[in-house]
């Protein structure tokens, strides 16, 4: 670290929450955080976003649950999880002891379940924010069924907004025609931020057996393969809403982090790259601060949404906006 460290400000704000830096471990890619207590000093992360929680325990899908594809992977885990009660009782104290800033990814099969899980977490000690999972492509009920309908997305976000005072971050799916309209719906319903993108619904087939490689048939594509699409979607949402955006999708280097910030993300999540390198976090942070030093940037927020489109052809939205939208 150079001597400039003291003059740098890496902190970012998500609603009432201030993160010490913009790096967040992505839900579903970091277990419940405690699994990484020996490899990463969790206090050095902006936050840890733990694996999605329903009210009750869930077993998830039968394996195989992942398959590799070029520069990426498909997963269909099926949101296996311990349920919110065991999480609060058994895991949250450990996360507190490790000094983690904990964001909990909340799932539900009904609006009532989303609200109930959020209420329980709001009463627990040590939850910094709620990420609302309305975007998991791998389960039949809940998740993406809320994330693919504008009225349903608005309804679930509004209901959870009433149930919790915690910063609320709906996680959006890219499996829609116009993701920015979902960011607007979330903002209208009282969200403090939105996070995107969840994985792209995808499929891989074993040509010898002519069967899908995943037991679940389809799964969600993540990894560097999706990064340019994610950057575009973050950019589109940044143009559409005033609330902060938590960007993710294939981030594997500090340069990728910077790209998402410039596109309009206030913070970023890193998922698949953590599978490949669980020691990636200090490397990302060092790379980010080196970039800031090189460009004379004192506050990381000064990077957010600074993509220069003037003079170039302004990027067009992914689908034409209907009149009056």
Partner 1 sequence: MLLDTAAARVGPVDADAVVLANRRLSADYHVLALAAPEVAARTQPGQFVMLKPSRGLDPLLRRPFSVFEILRDAAGAPTGISILGKIVGAGTALLYALDAGERISVLGPLGRPFTEAPADQPVWFVAGGVGLAPFATMAEACLARGLQPTLFYGARRAADLHYADWFRGRGVDVRLATEDGSAGARGFVTAPLGDALAALAPGSAPSIYVCGPTPMMRAVAELAARHGHDAEVSLEQTMGCGMGGCYSCVVPVIQPGRAPHFVRSCLAGPTFKASTLAWEGLAH
- Is residue 148 among the annotated active site residues? no
Determine the distance from the C-alpha atom of residue 72 to the mean position of all C-alpha atoms in its chain, rounded to a whole number. Answer: 17
Q: Which residues partner with 131 through β-bridges?
A: 105, 169
Q: Closer to partner 1 at the Cβ: 135 or 181?
A: 135
Cβ partners under 8 Å of residue 75, min gap 6: 28, 65, 66, 138, 199, 219, 220, 222
Rounded least distance, CB 278 to partner 1, Å = 5
Q: Closer to partner 1 at the Cβ: 8 or 171?
A: 171
Sign of CA dihedral 246, 249, 253, 259: negative
Q: Closer to partner 1 at the Cβ: 65 or 154?
A: 65
Of the candidates 214, 175, 195, the one whose C-alpha atom is nearest the C-alpha of residue 106 is 195
Q: Closer to partner 1 at the Cβ: 266 or 274?
A: 274
How many other β-carbons are positioned within 10 Å of the β-carbon of residue 307?
17
Rounded least distance, CB 35 to partner 1, Å = 4
Rounded least distance, CB 251 to partner 1, Å = 13
| C-alpha distances out from residue 147 to 48, 137, 228, 270, 314, Å | 23, 10, 21, 21, 28
Rounded least distance, CB 38 to partner 1, Å = 3
267 within 8 A of 3, measured Cβ to Cβ: no
Catalytic residue, candidates 49, 107, 136, 237: 136
Residues in contact with partner 1 by the rule CB under 8 A: 28-32, 34-39, 51, 59-60, 62-68, 70-73, 75, 77, 80, 82, 86, 90-91, 94, 215, 223-224, 252, 272, 274-279
Rounded least distance, CB 284 to partner 1, Å = 15
Q: Closer to partner 1 at the Cβ: 87 or 182?
A: 87
Q: What would you report as the CA-atom Rg of the chain, rounded to the nearest whole angstrom?
A: 19
Cite the active site residues.
136
């Amino acid at each position: 670290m150079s001597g400039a460290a003291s003059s740098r400000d890496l902190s970012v704000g998500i609603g009432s929450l201030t993160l010490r830096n913009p790096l967040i471990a992505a839900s579903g890619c970091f277990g419940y955080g405690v699994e990484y207590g020996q490899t990463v000093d969790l206090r050095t992360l902006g936050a840890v976003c733990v694996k999605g929680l329903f009210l009750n325990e869930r077993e998830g899908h039968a394996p195989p649950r992942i398959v590799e594809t070029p520069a990426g992977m498909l997963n269909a885990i099926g949101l296996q999880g311990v349920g919110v009660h065991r999480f609060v009782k058994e895991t949250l104290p450990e996360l507190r002891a490790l000094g983690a800033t904990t964001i909990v990814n909340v799932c539900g099969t009904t609006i009532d379940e989303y609200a109930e899980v959020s209420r329980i977490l709001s009463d627990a000690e040590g939850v910094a924010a709620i990420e609302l999972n309305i975007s998991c492509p791998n389960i039949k009920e809940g998740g993406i069924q809320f994330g693919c309908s504008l009225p349903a997305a608005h309804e679930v976000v509004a209901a959870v907004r009433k149930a919790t005072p915690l910063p609320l971050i709906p996680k959006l799916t890219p499996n829609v025609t116009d993701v920015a309209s979902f960011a607007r719906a979330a903002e209208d319903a009282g969200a403090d931020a939105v996070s995107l993108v969840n994985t792209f619904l995808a499929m891989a087939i074993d040509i010898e057996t002519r069967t899908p490689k995943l037991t679940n048939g389809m799964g969600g594509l993540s990894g560097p393969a999706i990064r340019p699409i994610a950057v575009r979607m973050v950019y589109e949402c940044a143009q559409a809403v005033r609330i902060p955006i938590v960007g993710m999708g294939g981030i594997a280097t500090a340069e990728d982090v910077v790209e998402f910030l410039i596109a309009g993300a206030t913070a970023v999540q890193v998922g698949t790259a953590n599978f490949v390198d669980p020691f990636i976090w200090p490397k990302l942070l060092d790379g980010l601060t080196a970039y800031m030093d090189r460009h004379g940037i004192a506050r990381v927020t000064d990077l957010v949404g600074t993509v220069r489109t003037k003079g170039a052809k302004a990027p067009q939205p992914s689908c034409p906006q209907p009149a009056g939208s």
